[in-house]
Structure 1
Amino acid sequence: MIARSWDRWRSSYIGRLVSESMRSQGWRYGVAALAMIIVAASSAGTAWMMEKIVDAMTTPELRSKVYLVAGAVIGLFFTKALASYVQALFLARAGNRIVASQQEKLYRQLLRRGVGFFGTTDSSDLLMRVTHGAQAARELIDVLMTGFVRDTLTLIGLTIVMVYQQPVLSMLFILIGPIALLGVRHLLKSVRNIMRAEMASLAEIIRVLQETSGGIKIIKVFALEDRMVERMDTAIGQVEKRANDIAKLQSIASPLMELLAGVAIASILVVSTMGIANSEPPTAGQLMSFITALLMAYEPAKRLSRMRVGIETCMVTVSMMFELLDQDEAIQERSGAVNLEPGNGSIQFNNVTFGYHSDFPIIKDMNLSFEPGKTTALVGQSGGGKSTIFGLIMRFYDPDTGAVEIDGHNVKDVSFASLRRKISYVGQDTFLFSTTIMENLRCSAPEASDEEVISAARAAHAHDFICEFPDGYETQVGENGVFLSGGQKQRIAIARAILRKSEILLLDEATSALDAESEALVKTSLKTLTKDVTTIIIAHRLSTVLEADTIMVIKDGRVIEKGDMDELMKKNGSFRQLFEQQFKK
């Protein structure tokens, strides 16, 4: 029975968090626990010393011991102060390390997740789990340490002093005290429900802020300020209401303890004057020692009565953190995965079927080859599966059936690092990091020299506009390149791909944000970039793909036409219809 209970405890979130924290920060918590024991002993010693202090002050024959008692009091309080400092310092350092380590693990777990995970999970929810979850883990450990070590031992020590000085009155304290603890048990279910709702409201606040930051132009153009204010006010109001509910539940314990203290002190006055507690009336020192112990026991008893509420408050957020850590990775690197060696960059789809939802396939039994060193264009109406083909090549997703092969290797059998080194990508939604232009260019090839970076920028016709900025390549681009135009961002992305020098190049509407002049310049640079590189281009503007070696028309997850420009125009099929729609003149 004991073994089963221990296993259940260890498998719980609390047990797991404590085990992990003690493994990494056990020595710091050990020092803090030792300091807490000294604090608890000092608190009990303070109450005990009150008898000596009062007796030395009120009993003439003990006056000679006043200096000895005074010295003992100074030593006792110095010891308690030093132990309190050590406890606070080591608890803080251990707690800060726990927050940092949990956030590090959470972020690494996020990076291991597949692209599909981020498409189905709100970023506001992730922010809540990473920030609040790690902080709640630290708070939970602190609550457990201070509650079970400092407060419990302090309460035990003070109770011993009370029992020694006034046994009968102490029984009143011992009997009434648990009533407050029993009352708290009924609050716990309410706390859990309120905290889960509060986390959802906090996530909504973050979501509104993100949407405001990213969509401020749309908000302004369509005059959505009032609607956004209404959403934010609603979310803030819900958080405020639930915070008030939590405060109300947490505050119930304090009046119970206040009542207990009042009853106990009133009883002392009655019982001590009537001589009920002892056959002989207590001395002034004994009575003062008991009262001091009783009053000092009030705070740790109150904290212990509220500890379960605090634990439940933290556990809601901690459980959200562990849920994220424990989620299975949809896309995993196989044990013993091989490295893709340099090759010609051939790509083969063998009977590939894939859908983001199992009952709705996007790619259907696809068989196709991308010739090494050649340029292949994918055209067709939106939703046909072109971008999904890119996702399967980069192994953002795994096929439901069939296999994707690069240089004869199933991409499931190769390491992520070697697969990604083989591929460069330029998307239509260009993403830039909030740093300098130089760092954004160099992120594709960290080892590249400044000269190589500038050469790539020249090839993408980005060098001239970069040099026009006062800080040149050290210009800050802002959050996701907000300080740059769409065309400038896209040319930086193309320069980034040129710098990488990969065997496979994927271009998804890579020139969609360029004006005609810039597009002509970039197309010239792409000719150099794509020479002897396996290049796949997704384009809706056919002007960008007319010179491709092979053009594939994708519709409903299948290749319905394939050939070069001349062959497809002779067929009078889907490609010719697309061509004539765009080039009517």
Structure 2
Amino acid sequence: MMGLKLGSLIPQSAAIPRLLKEGLRQQGRLYAIAMAAMIVSAATSAGVAWVMEKIVDALSRPDSRAYVLTVATMVMGIFIVKGMATYVQVVFMSRAGNRIVAHQQSQVFSKLMRQGLSYFNAMESSEIIMRVTQGAQACRRLIDIIVVSAVRDTLTLLALLGVMIYQQPLLSAVSLLVGPVALYGIRRILRKVKEIMESELASMSEIYKVLQEGAGGIQVVKIFSLENTMRDRMDRAVRTVEKRANAISRLEAITSPMMETLSGVVIAGVVVLSAYNIFGGEPTTAGQLMSFVTALLMAYEPAKRLSRMRVSIEASLVGVRMVLDMLDMPDTQIEAPDAAPLAPGPGEVEMAGVRFGYAEDTPILKGVNLVFPAGRISALVGPSGGGKSTLINLAMRMFDPTEGTISIDGQDLRMATLSSIRQRISFVGQTTFLFSTTIRENIRCARFDATDEEVVEAAKAANAHEFIEALSEGYDTPVGENGAFLSGGQRQRLAIARAIVKRSDILFLDEATSALDSHSEALIQDALGRATQGKTVIVIAHRLTTILNADQVFFIEAGQVAESGTIETLLAGPTRFRTLYDAQFEGVSERGSRDRQVRFNA
């Protein structure tokens, strides 16, 4: 199991102040209202303890009806105010917390959208989901814990201590002896919390991973009878999470019996000391003793919450630091400070001395020099792993070369804005990704200002209009998750329609027909013929029937351009391309192959 990458987490000493500063700055008004309500709630808690003296006195003077009614009115008022303050506190704390979760999730997703492909290649999607969901919730929990403990519980405890000291100063001093003992016990508990929480979050990430793989690869799971294997993986992850969650619960819960035991000892001691009047002085009235004991009993709950605060903070900090760590990661692909939009041009793409590797010690491209002429079809062929897809990814600026330059119409892509690069290019790959929305919106996502008429026109050009019209809801038919309700050929034609509606100058095709049957391939080849007219086309193909009308061919092998030229030139001699051609066509004449080929520009 691959655990969460926790090595680069920001220090705990920096995480809490930063989160509080951001949270309170963004939701300061809501927290201010909640804190004001907490202050009122703390005051009324002290008022409840204080009024107990008056209640006992009233019960001992039943003949004084006016006094009894006054005390009764005071009690009712205190509890009404306390209830209203509690309501305001809960509502505004919830609003502030929900906004923090929403803000953190939006902020993290925005950060993800600024990353290049290298980031997503290095980070598992299950870990990303884990950070966005659990981390954002941890941010809310941490702020709530600190705000509630720092304001409500602390003020309530101080107010109740004030009542205790007012009623019985010496007995209050004896009661405070419990504090140091409780702090010592909590300090020992905290040592185990961080390690357990990191392990629990790693196990949660494994649960997300199993869910994703089980749902996304369900066909493979069924075909190879992997149901039991997937169930075993899930069971192990779930049991691990359960075990560690139980450990955290034990650590959090241990503070309760500890505080209860200590409180019981203190209360028993106070009763004995008060009964025997060991300290001497003025005799204690029943009302004073009741008020003191009530304040002491009420102080138990906020004291217990404060004693558990450090454990709860430590349990939330791992998730908080994961989110902040993600936000602090440098963008893997950034624009130059003086980046300028690409100027309009014919669409010539050039690579000069390009070197690149996904890992520093494993070069993929080794000094590539080539030119894709504007308005022409250029084909990349060669064995798998030679670097063809990498060349396309670099030309689309999904990555930046480690050496050399890539330019469009003479403008270095690293000096151009990313948005202007994306406007100039379109892409159709071997596997088509569709959003879980309607057909219309999947086509229109390439250009949101496209009219319904333009969407239909693009679908017709992609040979998709006929099958779309045959669907129950036509262009408003949902396609399911990643086009699950459509066939491979239908998804591919939608991808071509998407590329057509964009009206870009440069079109990249990466094995766009390799996984299709002959009928679907013929439809798509015909659609590509219309989609590529007048554009700069760079196409990767293993099946040479798809590139026989290319203006030039580059044979890519071992990260270098091994051969280049027109098809006629490369077939004229003993070239690598000729060997590949003969192997695929098995002696069929070049003319016969060309006659059966549905050309791009037909």
Which residue is 2:184 aligned to?
A: 182
Which residue is 2:331 aligned to?
A: 329
| Root-mean-square deviation over aligned CA pairs | 1.4
Q: C-alpha displacement at 1:514, in angstroms?
A: 2.6
Q: C-alpha displacement at 1:59, in angstroms?
A: 3.4
The answer to whether the aligner puts 1:572 opposite 2:574 as a matched pair is: yes
Q: C-alpha displacement at 1:186, in angstroms?
A: 1.4
Q: Deviations over 1:162-187 (max 9, x none)?
A: 11212222122211123112211112
* One-letter amino acid matched to 1:109: K
In 1, Cα distance between equivalents of 2:279 and 2:224: 79
Q: C-alpha displacement at 1:513, in angstroms?
A: 2.9
Which residue is 1:348 aligned to?
A: 350
- Trace 1:124-523 onto structure 2 (pairs within 5 A): 124-523=126-525
Q: Deviations over 1:80-102 (max 9, x none)?
A: 11111111111111111111111
Which residue is 2:541 aligned to?
A: 539
Q: C-alpha displacement at 1:517, in angstroms?
A: 2.2
Which residue is 1:108 aligned to?
A: 110
The answer to whether the aligner puts 1:582 opposite 2:584 as a matched pair is: yes
Runs of 4+ displaced beyond 4 Å: 8-11, 60-63
| 8 Å Cα contact 1:167-1:277 kept in structure 2 | no
Q: C-alpha displacement at 1:73, in angstroms?
A: 1.2
What secondary structure is seen at the aligned counterpart in 2 of 1:183?
A: helix
| 8 Å Cα contact 2:496-2:531 kept in structure 1 | no
Change in Cα spacing, 1:10 to 1:335, as seen in structure 2 (3 Å) is farther
* One-letter amino acid matched to 1:517: H
In 2, Cα distance between equivalents of 1:312 and 1:432: 41
Q: Deviations over 1:346-405 (max 9, x none)?
A: 111111111111111111111110000000000001100000011111111111111101
In 1, Cα distance between equivalents of 2:13 and 2:420: 37
TM value normalised by structure 1: 0.97
Could you tell me the percent identity over the aligned residues? Answer: 53
| 8 Å Cα contact 1:383-1:556 kept in structure 2 | yes
* One-letter amino acid matched to 2:193: V
In 2, Cα distance between equivalents of 1:564 and 1:150: 79
Query: Which of 549, 557, 560 pairs up with 1:558?
Result: 560
The gaps in structure 1 that reach 5 residues or longer are 1-7
In 1, Cα distance between equivalents of 2:461 and 2:66: 95
Q: Deviations over 1:115-135 (max 9, x none)?
A: 111111111100110011111
* One-letter amino acid matched to 1:556: A
Q: C-alpha displacement at 1:302, in angstroms?
A: 0.3
* One-letter amino acid matched to 1:190: K
| More displaced stretch, 522-531 vs 117-126 | 522-531
| 8 Å Cα contact 1:10-1:16 kept in structure 2 | no
In 2, Cα distance between equivalents of 1:229 and 1:277: 68
In 2, Cα distance between equivalents of 1:309 and 1:11: 16
Q: C-alpha displacement at 1:10, in angstroms?
A: 11
TM value normalised by structure 2: 0.94
What secondary structure is seen at the aligned counterpart in 2 of 1:562?
A: strand
| More displaced stretch, 388-397 vs 197-206 | 388-397
Query: Which of 83, 93, 106 pairs up with 1:81?
Result: 83
What secondary structure is seen at the aligned counterpart in 2 of 1:572?
A: coil
* One-letter amino acid matched to 2:449: E
Q: C-alpha displacement at 1:280, in angstroms?
A: 3.3
The gaps in structure 2 that reach 5 residues or longer are 1-9, 588-602
In 2, Cα distance between equivalents of 1:62 and 1:336: 85
What secondary structure is seen at the aligned counterpart in 2 of 1:187?
A: helix
| More displaced stretch, 442-451 vs 301-310 | 442-451
Which residue is 1:4 aligned to?
A: none
Which residue is 1:526 aligned to?
A: 528
Q: Deviations over 1:544-580 (max 9, x none)?
A: 0011001110001111111111111112211011111
| 8 Å Cα contact 1:173-1:260 kept in structure 2 | no
